[in-house]
Amino acid sequence: MTDHPQQLHASTRAQDGTVLAYQRHGSGRPLVLLAGQANNHHWWDGVREDFHATHTTVTMDYRGTGTSGKPDGPYSTRLFADDVIAVLDDLGVERADVYGTSMGGRVAQWVAARHPDRVGRLVLGCTSPGGPQAQERDASVRRALAHADPTASRQALLDLMYSPAWLADHPGPYTMLGDPGMPPHARRGHLVASNEHDAWDALPRIVAPTLVLHGDQDRLTPAANAPLLAARIPRARMHLFTGARHAYFQECRPRAGRLVRAFLAGQEDLPLPEAGHG
Query: Please, which residues have CB within 8 angstroms of residue 41's CB and are 6 or more apart in sequence?
Result: 21, 22, 23, 35, 59, 60, 61, 66
Percent of the chain residues topping a pLDDT of 70: 94
pLDDT at 144 over 90: no
**What gap in Å lies between CA 250 and CA 169, rounded to an integer?**
13
pLDDT at 5 over 70: no
CA quadruple 2, 95, 87, 5: dihedral, nearest 10: -10
Work out the pLDDT band at 74, boundaries 50, 70, 90.
Answer: very high
Work out the pLDDT band at 268, boundaries 50, 70, 90.
Answer: low
Would you say 126 and 246 are in contact if contact means Cβ atoms under 8 Å apart? yes
Distances (CA, A) of 138 to 85, 125, 135, 221: 34, 20, 9, 10
Distances (CA, A) of 114 to 86, 111, 146, 179, 231: 14, 6, 34, 28, 19
Region 139-155: what's the mean pLDDT?
87
Backbone torsions φ then ψ of 100, nearest 5 degrees: -120, 140
Q: What one-character-per-residue DSSP string does 142-182 give?
A: HHHHT-SSHHHHHHHHHHHHS-HHHHHH-----S-S--TT-
Burial of residue 149 (CB within 10 Å: 0-12, 13-18, 19+) is exposed
pLDDT at 253 over 90: yes
Residues 232-268: b if buried by 16+ CB within 10 A, e if exposed: bbbebbbbbbeebbbbbbbbbeeebeebbbbbbeeee
Work out the pLDDT band at 148, boundaries 50, 70, 90.
Answer: confident
- Mean of the per-residue pLDDT values for the chain? 93
Question: Which of helix, strand or coil describes residue 113?
Answer: helix
Treating both helix axes as pointing N-terminal to C-terminal, what angle do 77-91 and 184-195 enclose, rounded to 10 degrees? Answer: 100
Region 146-157: what's the mean pLDDT?
88
Region 72-82: what's the mean pLDDT?
96
